[in-house]
Structure formats: structure tokens, C-alpha cells
Chains A and B, each alone.
Chain A
Amino acid sequence: MKNNQKSVYENCNNMIKKITRKEFLQTGAGLAALSIFPGALAQATPQYRVLGRTGLQVTTLGFGATRTNDPSFIRTALDSGINFLDTGRIYANGQNEVVIGNVIKEFRKKIIIQTKVTLELRENGEQLKTRPVAKKIQAMLETSLQESLEALQTDYLDVLLLHNLTSLPLLQHETVRSFFTEAKKSGKIRACGFSSHENQAELLRTNNSDHFYDVVMVAYNHRGSYTHTQTGRFSEWDQQALETELQTAAQNNIGIVAMKTCSGGPLSLSPDKTPSWFDAIQWVLQHSYIASAAVAMANMDELKENSRILF
């Protein structure tokens, strides 16, 4: 879209009845917008937390982009005050990153982008250590990083995660670690990490011993399990073991992002309240070791409900 020409809207700018996203105003959630768009009606400041040793200030509510490819909706989420976008190279075959790139290109530096690289490998265990496989891993990582940078129309990523990590050999893989080290040195990424749905405690324990990864993204909610909202798939973890490792990670200054925060179902934090998604997210954020809850959203109803958490 070109912006150098007066639009229909701008032509009748003085006739505007109300600012856009009126329902945000009504809920009191929106239009705080405004660390991202200073001067634009900023009236409240969203809550930020520091993402561990990265030093990045992320909003407590992150926008999980996997469920939408609508640029207008993503922009609205940013207008609501969210500054932390979570995407992945494999989402919509890379088009999710393309859409986000189009949305943020004019204010890139105000947004914290976390994306993910998927290592699609059939090899495991000792096979991962062979030279051909190491070469393949290196090529996959380099290609994915380059494609993410191009799609997002940026020359750096704030956070690059290994996507859906399940095994220790990959977590500790020399090629993977040297790739991340070099990518940070070159300025192409500011921080590295991994996301995991399974075996989370063990992976965290390993990282807590060597502190290599800056950021971890884990499934975490009040139930200690999740039923996927769309697949109905059930998965559970040892909540106590996970929380022990999360606390240690926070002490080690590792940034922690929570996902699947609503997948444990609605929650009521007080007896007089109806269970809600809002309280489910609030429960996660009551734990100070969580920097941000990345919640996948697809429509305004969800955004309105969840963005109340920002203020």
C-alpha cells in the first residue's frame, strides 16, 4: 500500500466520529497503544517485563500469530499495545512472516519479533553427529534464518527459537550452537532459544546447567496439561518439575515465554467470578518468572478479552 497520497479517510479526517477500535476504548484496554505509536492517543502504558538476559522489554501479553494471516487484524493487535509478536517459519509456509513483515515494516524497531526455525530431520541420536547430517543442519538453519529475514523485511530478528525441540542431542548439537553463536555475532539475531511441548523439564534442566540458550518457550498453564483447542489432543507434564526448572531458569536470567496458556481451559481466580480465559492468562502471569504469555488470537473478540491483561 502506498502512503504518500491522501486517502479517502484522510480527506474526511475532520469528520471522524470516534477514533478507531471504539470497543477497545470502551473496555479501557486499547489505545494505550502507545509505546508503539507515541502521540497517537496514548493514555495508558502496557505492562512490560524483561525477557531475561536479552534485556528486551516485552509486553506481558504476546501475540501468537499462528491462527491469522490477516494484516489488518495483526496491526490492530499492535495498536492495542502489544509489542511482542510470535511467529514461525513454518506457519502458513512462511506467509505468516510475510504478512507480519508487511505490517511492521514502518515501525520495525518498536516491535519484538520472535520466530522459529524447524529442523525437519529423520535422523536422531548418534546419527545427528555424522558429518553429512551436521552439514544438513547447518544448511537448514542458514536457509531458514535468511528466509525469515527476507519475509519479515528486517535485517535482524529479536529472538530465534529452535521449533518444537524434543531431544537433548539437538539442544546440545555443536552445529546448532555454533550457528546461533555466529548469528548473534553477526547481528542477525539478538537472542536464541528453543520452544518445546514435550520433555520440557529435562530440556530446561540441561539449559539450566550450561545456560546456552537465552530464551525458552514452554507450554504452561494452570492445569499442567492441555487439550488442544482445535485438535482436542491431550498432553500433560509434571507441573512441579516444570516450575522448579522455570524458577531456576529465571534465576539464571533466561527469558521465559509461556504458550498454551489458555489450553488448560478457563479459570476463576476468585470464587465469585465466572471462569474466564482472562484469568487463565492472569494465572500464568502471576508467576514472575514468566516474561510474556504468547496467546494465539484470530479475531477481535479474543483480542478484546485478552488485551485487558496489558493494563
Chain B
Amino acid sequence: MKFGLSLLLFIFLTCNLSMGTSQDITGLVPAAAELSPIIISAAHQVYNRDNLWEYINGAAPAYLHFGFQQVVTFVVMNPDSDEAVVDIYDMGDSLNAFGMYAQEKSAKGKPVTLGSGAVIYSNSLYFWQDRYYIKLIAYSSSPAIASFLTRLGGLISARLPDRGSLPQIFTLFPLQERVPGSERYYPQDVLGQAFLNNGYSAEYAAGEDQYTIFIIPFTNGQDAGEKYASLQNAKSPVETVPEVLKNIGDAAFLYKDSYYGSVCFIQKNQFITGVAGHIQAEKMQQIFASLAQTIP
């Protein structure tokens, strides 16, 4: 019974809002009448898992990592002869679409309301919606091109299925101090460990303190426990955890990471939760206290 509830919770928290089989992705290319006065200046091409490399070369492994299925790409031109390349990537499900979008999004982008999440840059617009990750890239930049991309993005969004939202698991991350738009999903190799899959993180900032919270859900406590033991074995925990961190969990362990500074993990039921950053033990204790309120 307990196992069943855990499994249901896992599915709820990590569920993909959209999953499905490959379809004819060319159906997502807007029709000429919809686009007018924009025209398609280079006909669409489709690439799949076998030949994505021919289109984006060394960038392909990251897409495959996030479940890439196929992409349709075409070029459009507005009446001012500004051109933009449109790529509609089918990532297999909405979790992967979100993950890929989040990985490629830079802090320089300005969030805009489109699909399930979107950012616009000087000459490009990226968004995700349902199981799709969409990139619109113009060859030059100007306010007119920004509005051209926005209109184009709207046309494509209108042809896609329901919008979806940030994966449910992010409701477990504290809201306080969270950096907007910093949520990430890792389908594999969480923290560089081959045995850790399907991890999530978010960045936090409070004054000079910057830290990252990781949550890795499992289907049940036993699975989480085994992976937690593997994680402890892979790292070199400090022998004595500071007093203030002793009450955050039964088997909290702390290790030094060359990049993150201090990293502390606990296991609670079917979750492994971690906090990483150059922060004081007292601050880390506060963060775990906050997580204790949300992690079931």
C-alpha cells in the first residue's frame, strides 16, 4: 500500500504533461495564409534521431540526452526581407521540452508570455510548449525584428497542443530566495553520477549567499536509499557533520566540492535532497528546515 502511494506520488510529481508517439511534425508548419504577409523562403526539412547530427553537429548529443525525436526546420521572411530560421523540436514529452529549453536559456534573455515559458534575445525567441521546444533565430536584430519574431512565435504556439507548465516537482522547492527561471531538469548523470537520473535543481540568492537546491525523486524509499548509499560512496564525506546540521536528517552527509563549495545531502522517504553553495552551516540548516516543510 505504502509502495503504491509512493509510486503515485512519484508519477504525480514527475509526470509529463504530454507524452506521445512521433507524428508528422510538418503539420506544425503554419500555412501560407496564416503567415501572410510573412512567407516561407526556404522549404521545411525534417531531421530525426539518426541524422540530427547533420543539422546541428556537436550540439546533437545534448538534444538526444533530452529525448529528442525529430525537428522540422524552415526559413521565413517578412515584407522587409528580414529572415528567420524556425526550428520546432519534438522532445518526446513536455518534461524533456522544458529541460532542453531550461538548459539553453541564458540569463541575458527577457522573459515573454508565450507557450509554457519563453525568452527573447536581440535576434531570437525561444519557447517551449507541450512536448515541443521552439527556436526562432533572425539574422539581424532590431525592434521590428523582435516584433516579427513575437508574431511568428504566436502563430506557431497557436498550432501546438495545450501549454503545460513547470513540472509539479518544483512545488517542493522553497519559493523564498529562488531565482526566477533558474529551474533545471537533468534526465541523466545528475551531479556527474551515472546512477542518478531524473534530478531537478533551482538556484537561490540571498544577499551574498548563492546556493543550489537539488531534489531527486525515486519510485520508493528503498530505491532512494540504495542510490543515496551509492552517492555517499562516490563522495568523500567529512567525518563530523557540524552540530547545527545534525538534526536535518538521519543520515545527512556533507562533502567538499571544488565548484560548489559545501554540499549536503539527506534522504527522506523516496527523495534525495541536497543543498550546495559557499554558505555557512547555519544557513544550510535553515534551507533544510524550509525543505522539510515541503518534501513529503
A contact set with B: CB distance below 8 Å: 1-3, 5-12, 15-23, 66-76, 79, 88, 90-95, 98, 103, 116, 118, 120, 122, 136, 163-164, 197, 228, 230-233, 296, 298-303
Contact = CB atoms under 8 A, between A and B. Distances in A.
B179 interface: no
A21 B89 CA distance: 38
Given A12-B240, A296-B61, 14 more contacts: A1-B210, A1-B277, A10-B262, A12-B254, A16-B236, A20-B256, A66-B58, A66-B61, A69-B103, A71-B260, A90-B56, A93-B59, A94-B104, A233-B53
Interface SS of chain B: mixed
Closest 5 CB pairs of A and B: A73-B192, A93-B104, A8-B262, A75-B259, A9-B256
Contacts of B262: 7-10
Contacts of B255: 9, 20
Contacts of A22: 235-236
B58 A233 contact: no
Interface stretch (B9-17, B25-33, B279-287): B279-287
A93 B104 CA distance: 5
B245 interface: yes
Contacts of B284: 8
A128 B97 CA distance: 36
Nearest to B275: A8
B131 to A, nearest CB: 19
A164 B57 contact: yes
B296 interface: no
Contacts of A228: 53
A114 to B, nearest CB: 12
A73 B61 contact: no
B226 interface: no
B50 A231 contact: yes
Contacts of A231: 49-53, 60, 64
B58 A91 contact: yes
Contacts of B188: 298-299
Nearest to A164: B57
Contact of A16 (B53, B104, B186, B239): B239
A79 B192 CA distance: 14
B235 A299 contact: no
17 contacts: A2-B278, A9-B254, A9-B255, A15-B240, A16-B238, A16-B239, A20-B257, A67-B65, A70-B186, A72-B257, A72-B260, A118-B57, A163-B57, A163-B58, A164-B57, A230-B49, A231-B60
A12 B264 CA distance: 13
Given A2-B210, A300-B194, A232 B258 contact: no
Given A91-B62, A95-B106, A299 B50 contact: no
Contacts of B254: 8-9, 12
B258 A20 contact: yes
Contacts of B260: 1, 71-72
Nearest to A70: B192
A74 B260 CA distance: 12
A301 B233 CA distance: 13
B116 to A, nearest CB: 18
Interface of B: 42, 49-53, 56-62, 64-65, 75, 85, 103-106, 126, 135, 139, 186, 188-189, 191-194, 208-210, 234-242, 245, 254-262, 264, 276-281, 284
**Max count, chain B CB within 10 A of own CB: residue among A7, A15, A69:** A7
Contacts of B50: 231-233
Contacts of B276: 72
A20 B235 contact: yes
B193 A20 contact: no
A237 B61 CA distance: 22
**Max count, chain A CB within 10 A of own CB: residue among B49, B258, B260, B264:** B258
A71 B203 CA distance: 13
Nearest to A40: B258
A75 B257 CA distance: 9
Nearest to B190: A70
B106 A93 contact: yes
Contact of A68 (B106, B139, B189, B280): B189
Contact of A95 (B103, B209, B241, B277): B103
A103 B52 contact: no
Nearest to B261: A7
A232 B52 CA distance: 11
Contacts of A302: 194
**Max count, chain B CB within 10 A of own CB: residue among A1, A17, A66, A98:** A1
Nearest to B123: A143
Given A8-B264, A18-B236, A3 B278 contact: yes
A20 B280 contact: no
B191 A72 contact: yes
Nearest to A136: B139
